[in-house]
Protein backbone atom coordinates (compact mmCIF):
# COMPACT_ATOMS: atom_id res chain seq x y z
CA UNK A 1 0.00 0.00 0.00
CA UNK A 2 1.35 3.42 -0.93
CA UNK A 3 1.85 6.10 1.71
CA UNK A 4 -0.95 8.28 0.31
CA UNK A 5 -3.35 5.29 0.47
CA UNK A 6 -2.29 4.60 4.05
CA UNK A 7 -3.07 8.15 5.22
CA UNK A 8 -6.26 8.11 3.16
CA UNK A 9 -7.20 4.82 4.78
CA UNK A 10 -6.80 6.41 8.23
CA UNK A 11 -9.03 9.32 7.21
CA UNK A 12 -11.64 6.91 5.88
CA UNK A 13 -11.46 4.87 9.08
CA UNK A 14 -12.24 8.04 11.02
CA UNK A 15 -15.21 8.70 8.72
CA UNK A 16 -16.57 5.19 9.32
CA UNK A 17 -16.30 5.63 13.07
CA UNK A 18 -18.06 9.00 12.85
CA UNK A 19 -20.81 7.55 10.64
CA UNK A 20 -21.44 4.72 13.11
CA UNK A 21 -21.55 7.21 15.99
CA UNK A 22 -23.93 9.49 14.07
CA UNK A 23 -26.49 6.77 13.34
CA UNK A 24 -28.41 7.15 16.65
CA UNK A 25 -28.66 10.89 15.91
CA UNK A 26 -29.86 10.13 12.37
CA UNK A 27 -32.59 7.88 13.77
CA UNK A 28 -33.71 10.59 16.20
CA UNK A 29 -33.48 13.44 13.68
CA UNK A 30 -35.20 12.01 10.63
CA UNK A 31 -38.98 11.58 10.85
CA UNK A 32 -39.34 8.41 8.80
CA UNK A 33 -37.40 5.54 7.28
CA UNK A 34 -37.20 7.21 3.87
CA UNK A 35 -35.49 10.30 5.28
CA UNK A 36 -33.14 8.12 7.35
CA UNK A 37 -32.28 5.97 4.31
CA UNK A 38 -31.63 9.10 2.24
CA UNK A 39 -29.27 10.53 4.88
CA UNK A 40 -27.49 7.17 5.09
CA UNK A 41 -27.17 6.97 1.28
CA UNK A 42 -25.65 10.45 1.09
CA UNK A 43 -22.96 9.61 3.67
CA UNK A 44 -22.42 6.15 2.18
CA UNK A 45 -21.89 7.57 -1.31
CA UNK A 46 -19.64 10.38 -0.08
CA UNK A 47 -17.37 7.89 1.69
CA UNK A 48 -17.22 5.63 -1.37
CA UNK A 49 -16.35 8.58 -3.64
CA UNK A 50 -13.31 9.31 -1.46
CA UNK A 51 -12.24 5.67 -1.30
CA UNK A 52 -9.37 4.65 -3.61
CA UNK A 53 -10.30 1.93 -6.09
CA UNK A 54 -7.85 -0.47 -4.41
CA UNK A 55 -9.79 -0.16 -1.11
CA UNK A 56 -13.33 0.13 -2.50
CA UNK A 57 -14.39 -3.51 -2.11
CA UNK A 58 -13.31 -3.60 1.55
CA UNK A 59 -15.03 -0.25 2.18
CA UNK A 60 -18.28 -1.46 0.59
CA UNK A 61 -18.25 -4.51 2.85
CA UNK A 62 -17.69 -2.39 5.95
CA UNK A 63 -20.42 0.06 5.00
CA UNK A 64 -22.78 -2.87 4.39
CA UNK A 65 -22.11 -4.24 7.89
CA UNK A 66 -22.76 -0.81 9.45
CA UNK A 67 -25.93 -0.43 7.38
CA UNK A 68 -27.22 -3.86 8.37
CA UNK A 69 -26.54 -3.14 12.03
CA UNK A 70 -28.60 0.07 11.84
CA UNK A 71 -31.35 -1.38 9.65
CA UNK A 72 -30.77 0.73 6.54
CA UNK A 73 -29.29 -2.05 4.38
CA UNK A 74 -30.77 -5.45 3.65
CA UNK A 75 -29.09 -8.30 5.42
CA UNK A 76 -29.32 -10.66 8.32
CA UNK A 77 -28.49 -9.46 11.79
CA UNK A 78 -26.83 -12.17 13.81
CA UNK A 79 -27.66 -12.26 17.45
CA UNK A 80 -27.10 -15.02 19.91
CA UNK A 81 -27.33 -15.52 23.61
CA UNK A 82 -24.21 -15.89 25.68
CA UNK A 83 -24.93 -17.50 29.05
CA UNK A 84 -23.69 -15.44 31.97
CA UNK A 85 -22.71 -18.54 33.93
CA UNK A 86 -21.66 -21.98 32.80
CA UNK A 87 -24.23 -24.71 33.17
CA UNK A 88 -24.34 -26.25 36.62
CA UNK A 89 -24.20 -30.00 36.96
CA UNK A 90 -27.59 -31.53 37.69
CA UNK A 91 -28.04 -32.97 41.15
CA UNK A 92 -28.55 -36.73 41.37
CA UNK A 93 -32.23 -37.57 41.18
CA UNK A 94 -33.20 -34.14 39.79
CA UNK A 95 -35.80 -34.50 37.13
Structural domain boundaries in the chain: 3-70
- Give the pLDDT confidence score for residue 11 in this predicted structure: 87
Taking phi over 0 as left and psi of -120 to 50 as alpha, with beta for the rest, 80 belongs to beta
* Average pLDDT for runs of 10 along the chain of length 95: 60 91 90 88 94 90 89 74 66 64
Taking phi over 0 as left and psi of -120 to 50 as alpha, with beta for the rest, 91 belongs to beta
- Give the pLDDT confidence score for residue 15 in this predicted structure: 92
- Give the pLDDT confidence score for residue 48 in this predicted structure: 94
- Give the pLDDT confidence score for residue 22 in this predicted structure: 92
- Give the pLDDT confidence score for residue 8 in this predicted structure: 62
Amino acid sequence: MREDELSFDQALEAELILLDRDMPHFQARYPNMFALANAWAERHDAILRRTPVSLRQEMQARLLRIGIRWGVMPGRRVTMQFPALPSLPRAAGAG
